[in-house]
Structure 1
Amino acid sequence: MLLLLSQRAWAQSPLRFEISFPASVSATPLTGRMFLVIARKDSLEPRLQVGRYGTQFFGVDFEKLTPGKPVVIDGSTLGYPINALGDIPKGEYYIQAVLNKYTEFKRADGHTVWMHMDQWEGQDWRRSPGNVYSAVQKVSIDPAKGGTVRLQVTTVIPPIQVPADTKWVKHIKIQSPKLTKFWGHPIYIGATILLPKGYETEPNRYYPTVYQQGHFSVAPPFRFAEDPKNEFYQAWGSDTLPRFIAITLQHPTPYFDDSYAVNSANNGPFGDAIHEELIPEIEKQFRCIREGYARVLTGGSTGGWESFALQVLYPDFYGGTWSFAPDPLDFRNVEGINIYADKNAFYKEHEWYRVPTPNTRIPPTGEVRLTSQQRNTMELVNGTKGRSGGQLDIWSSVFGPVGSDGYFKPLFDKKTGVMDPSVAQYWKEHFDMRYYLEKNWATVGPKLVGKLNVICGRMDDFYLNVGVYHMEDFLTKTKNPAFEGSFTYGERGGHSWRPYSNAYLLKLMDAHIKARATKGASAPAKATSGKAGDK
């Protein structure tokens, strides 16, 4: 079993790496995080091999680093998957360094924080424009023998090229006044719009909208591609599929590639920005039916939680959701962690023994792929103070309170796993969806009848099915009114399990909308508004 990081006897090594940048990259000091990546193969650049199950890497923060001054990675630097440099097996490797730039944010809440500003890449330091990387070097590493390896980051990653608009696909990107005010720095949000067949030839026709939520992407909804071989392209352009305007939203934050589309203490008023700035702009530029019954939601994983939460928190603004494998709807299982009962996020404690908390499993067998400690160590190597751009950190930034240093107050210590019950209580009161519905069903329930549909595999890779079970236990017992939605399960289904195609999903949505349509609702109407966030 892995030892807690604070208790580990580090394998000391005389080996060290010194990484710097030249004045040609920046003549002024930089603040950020430096990464060293070690790979066994060079078929793909080492930096692009980093991931949850990826290659070895180390990270270290730096402040006001001047040109030519090195950042040092040595035996005291935390790494992942192997924690200590001294434990790297002797051998031949390909190495590469990456400098991840941080930006100073002077937030409206009075806090000043240094974080990575997303450059429309989806909060990914490996390929973020403006970040700087070194050439790949092949080296012999022998931790016992030691030595100093020097690298210089010299190549600046160029801007992201957003795809051009086409007949079918349009793009919107706006600077949000609300978010810019909160962060004290320009913050952008956007949308990719997929237009239906006949949109150009029927100028007086208005269409229902489907919002597909999920991780940052400028790609069209439903994996649409203008390729005759693309199955969804064939369906979308046919006469058999219902006509929708389909939309994906882009709303990255300095914490993650996605804000979770709600107002939160650490990320700011993303819920307001989306519903009071972005969607009104979409409905101004495109012929959407501006009534709640004709706006529906879907999404998987992160998008599963968002689509469910937005329907719950904006019950009049949206007319129904089909949420696939949603992130925890009940915080009694947050990728294996029961935030209310567990004293430590890294293990389950029993009378005479303790067992590592699993984080990820492999369906359909359930074999554990990562423990909670391993997953959190990976995030810690990616970034301190919650700046990893990882899943546990974004949940903490969305669901949790602001800490005294201006970054989010952690639910647990990422080195020891020790839980903070006060933060768990904050999560519960603000964003535990099952708890929220149970507490507010008398008022919100009548607005949600028939609108909540959840689809999930029973062998979800991240144990998200457990939160769905808790939600089902509550909703199926509701009365006055009964929820009248649905829960659909795949017995051996993993995180990506889907019982039907996107084309069939649109047909379900179409039938749902038609059943709820009001007389004369095909013309544009004034958009309603909703509030989300701290409740």
Structure 2
Amino acid sequence: MFEHQSQTALPMNARYVTAAVAALCLLVSCSPTPHGSELTVQVTLAESAAAEAAALGLDGPYTGRVLVIVSRTADQEPRAQTGVSGVPYWGMDVSDWQAGTARSVQSGDPDVRGFPLEHVSDLPEGEYTMQALLNVYTRFDRSDGHTVWMHLNSGAGQDLWEAPGNLISEPMQIRVTGRGQTIELALTEAIQPDTPLADGQVLQQGNYQDTDWVKYVKIRSELLSEFWGQDMYIGANVLLPAGYATSNERYPVLYMQGHFPGGRAPLGFGSERGRSVGFQEFWSSGQAPGMIAVSIRDANPYYDTAYSVDSENVGPYGRAITEELIPYLEDQFRMIPAAWARATAGGSTGGWEALAAQIYYPDTFGGAWGWCPDPVDFNYYQIVNIYEDENAYFTGNEWHRVERPNARRFDGNVRSTVRQENHMELAAGPNSRSGGQWAIWEAVFSPVGDDGYPEPIWDPVSGSVNRETAEFWRANYDLHHYLRTNWETVGPKLNGKLHIATGDMDSYYLDNAVYLLDEFLASKPGFQYEVQYGRRKPHCWTGYSPSGSGEDMTNREFVEIVGAYFQKNRRA
């Protein structure tokens, strides 16, 4: 409801003139820097930054993407304030950048892409904190004959804003005048790992110190090293059960899938937040069912996890996990080397990974819990139907265009659109190199393009869908389609093994694809599976408590469920 305000009456023509003048004043006071008075940011790569990067194994000259970030607040570095609803930044690819030289980020350069402001000169006059960052790329001469430049994971998943080895400037207070000006920044240091590298260590997958309860494993993968043309590593965080050190017992294993865990223990062991409250005491008391829990560190040049499948662009991570990492773990720890004794679970990205691992490797795993999974049917790729929609960013007709939402609150309020998040990622890095969610989906699911990078599912600027790429996705990674076309051979191996939960107001509309998969599974006589829908629950909902209280399930309750599942399916 609007409050009425009285005002002195004016003649009609005077009202128009007054309104026009007011509108003009508003335009002048809030308008961006005129394009005739360009704003240029000159970034110098200092010798000090190059020396620190070289000490981490990243030698110059440097190829990568330089980014300039601005913020109106100085309580955090600008690079820590980015996101789909975050502060503006602009990116530009660079190559063969020598220490002691400068590169310019400016409007009018077709290689510069910004978000949410497209041009540097779109930045309004005012006081800002500005910072520059170089996302350092590594050259990969892959076994498929393609040469690509990517960010080699350096222990921070694929968070380019925090990745060790990336180069940054000190945040600097600046004033944008609205007149032609050049702002000078200098990359003076490299982001450092949490702990200094010891002799023989590499940044990949991080380096962590064992504890009594958690052991950290990192191995060189022959499969991935061959694919990428250089040494590639994969790792795991292993949570041991109470009594492990004093017994000879062998244990079943729960593999927790999902985003890069860093040094965190599986299942929130050591945390007292959310679903993990009380879990450490439960696990270490000896009351928990006997099992080992493992989280996988499979960050790669595209993202902080590899989706547990083989991919033309990302590489044979499905085989690396099942043929190299798991056998190594079973050799190093007292794990039961049998399918019934391997369960997999995860939420969101990890939810898709858990289900995909079970579906594509039914003879390796014996049960899967997929919570709020990424799209399991590409008729609902979030809210885009890649098989029928002409455009991913807009729906409507000849006279009306409506932006497709990307994220919502549980009450339906839209937080961002598909176009906005894709344009944000495009500014961070083209060719699926943003380290973001849409980039990894494209990298995992798409065929390799002629340039060696993933074939786009849609034009990243306009949103026009590539139907040929969509058909490749359907044939290879649409889980519902895979089950439908391979049911006679795969279906019997999955009976009783699929457990899914999603909120019916999932923040990213992921519940829609689950409904389609649910309908298909329900049509198969005698097939046992489980799907839970949480009323008005947002993303990352994992199911209701088995107590019947209506509360959300805790990690303790989940481990008890998995323990009972292992006991029921135990083989001699």
Tell me the TM-score normalised to structure 1 length: 0.92
Q: 1:130: Cα distance to partner? A: 1.3
Q: 1:10: Cα distance to partner? A: 11
What is the rounded CA distance, in whole Å, between the counterparts of 2:183 and 2:455 in structure 1?
A: 37
2:84, 2:420 within 8 Å by CA — same for their partners in 1?
A: no
Q: Which consecutive unaligned segments of at least 5 residues does structure 1 have?
A: 1-8, 521-535
1:11, 1:85 within 8 Å by CA — same for their partners in 2?
A: no
Q: 1:351: Cα distance to partner? A: 5.4
1:10, 1:75 within 8 Å by CA — same for their partners in 2?
A: no
Assess, with a 3 A threshold, how the Cα gap between structure 1 residues 167 and 230 changes in structure 2: closer, same or farther.
farther
Matched, 1:177 2:230: no
Residues 71-470 of structure 1 aligned to structure 2 (within 5 Å): 71-76=103-108, 77-142=112-177, 144-161=178-195, 162-202=207-247, 204-218=248-262, 219-225=264-270, 231-350=278-397, 352-363=399-410, 365-470=411-516
Tell me what 2:91 maps to.
59
What RMSD, in angstroms, separates the aligned Cα atoms of the two structures?
1.8
What is the rounded CA distance, in whole Å, between the counterparts of 1:11 and 1:337 in structure 2?
A: 37
What is the rounded CA distance, in whole Å, between the counterparts of 2:39 and 2:256 in structure 1?
A: 49
Q: 1:163: Cα distance to partner? A: 3.2
The answer to which of 436-445 and 17-26 deviates more is: 17-26
2:33, 2:39 within 8 Å by CA — same for their partners in 1?
A: no
1:335, 1:360 within 8 Å by CA — same for their partners in 2?
A: no
What is the rounded CA distance, in whole Å, between the counterparts of 1:52 and 1:335 in structure 2?
A: 16
Aligned amino acid, residue 175 of structure 2: S
Q: 1:227: Cα distance to partner? A: 7.8
Q: 1:178: Cα distance to partner? A: 0.7
Q: 1:270: Cα distance to partner? A: 0.7
What is the rounded CA distance, in whole Å, between the counterparts of 1:457 and 1:428 in structure 2?
A: 25
1:11, 1:84 within 8 Å by CA — same for their partners in 2?
A: no
Tell me what 2:564 maps to.
511
What is the rounded CA distance, in whole Å, between the counterparts of 1:11 and 1:402 in structure 2?
A: 41
Give the match's secondary structure for 2:491. helix
Tell me what 1:525 maps to.
none
TM-superposition CA deviations, 1:452-503 (whole Å, max 9, x none): 0101001111111111111101111113xx3311000111000022320111
Q: 1:271: Cα distance to partner? A: 0.8
Tell me what 1:532 maps to.
none
1:10, 1:84 within 8 Å by CA — same for their partners in 2?
A: no
Q: 1:385: Cα distance to partner? A: 1.1
Which entry has the higher C-alpha Rg, 1 or 2?
2
Q: 1:263: Cα distance to partner? A: 0.5
Aligned amino acid, residue 357 of structure 1: R
Aligned amino acid, residue 47 of structure 2: A
What is the rounded CA distance, in whole Å, between the counterparts of 2:454 and 2:129 in structure 1?
A: 36
Question: Which residue among 545, 548, 554 is the counterpart of 1:501?
Answer: 554
Aligned amino acid, residue 158 of structure 1: Q
Tell me what 1:42 maps to.
74
Aligned amino acid, residue 122 of structure 2: D
Q: 1:86: Cα distance to partner? A: 2.8
What is the rounded CA distance, in whole Å, between the counterparts of 1:23 and 1:44 in structure 2?
A: 26
When the two structures are aligned, how many residues end up with a matched partner? Answer: 506
What is the rounded CA distance, in whole Å, between the counterparts of 2:361 and 2:34 in structure 1?
A: 53
Q: 1:237: Cα distance to partner? A: 1.5
Give the match's secondary structure for 2:245. coil
Q: 1:226: Cα distance to partner? A: 7.5
2:140, 2:228 within 8 Å by CA — same for their partners in 1?
A: yes
Aligned amino acid, residue 225 of structure 1: G
Tell me what 2:101 maps to.
69
Aligned amino acid, residue 205 of structure 1: E
2:238, 2:294 within 8 Å by CA — same for their partners in 1?
A: yes
Assess, with a 3 A threshold, how the Cα gap between structure 1 residues 351 and 10 changes in structure 2: closer, same or farther.
farther
1:36, 1:97 within 8 Å by CA — same for their partners in 2?
A: yes
What is the rounded CA distance, in whole Å, between the counterparts of 2:408 and 2:490 in structure 1?
A: 35
Q: Which has the higher helix share?
A: 2
1:205, 1:287 within 8 Å by CA — same for their partners in 2?
A: yes
Aligned amino acid, residue 72 of structure 1: S
The answer to which of 53-62 and 230-239 deviates more is: 230-239
Matched, 1:16 2:48: no
What is the rounded CA distance, in whole Å, between the counterparts of 1:49 and 1:506 in structure 2?
A: 36
TM-superposition CA deviations, 1:348-388 (whole Å, max 9, x none): 1335422111111111x111111111010000011011111
Tell me the TM-score normalised to structure 2 length: 0.86
What is the rounded CA distance, in whole Å, between the counterparts of 1:256 and 1:496 in structure 2?
A: 19
TM-superposition CA deviations, 1:117-163 (whole Å, max 9, x none): 11121011112111110011111113x32310000101111234333
Question: Which residue among 490, 499, 508 is the counterpart of 2:534?
Answer: 490
What is the rounded CA distance, in whole Å, between the counterparts of 2:286 and 2:353 in structure 1?
A: 31
Q: 1:11: Cα distance to partner? A: 6.5
TM-superposition CA deviations, 1:59-110 (whole Å, max 9, x none): 1101112223322222233211222323323211111111111100000000
Give the match's secondary structure for 1:233. helix
Aligned amino acid, residue 414 of structure 1: P
2:351, 2:371 within 8 Å by CA — same for their partners in 1?
A: yes
Q: 1:517: Cα distance to partner? A: 1.3
1:173, 1:190 within 8 Å by CA — same for their partners in 2?
A: yes
Q: Equivalent pairs: percent with the same residue?
A: 42
What is the rounded CA distance, in whole Å, between the counterparts of 2:287 and 2:192 in structure 1?
A: 43
The answer to which of 434-443 and 235-244 deviates more is: 235-244
Aligned amino acid, residue 311 of structure 1: Q
The answer to which structure, 1 or 2, has the higher relative contact order (CA under 8 A, 6+ apart) is 1
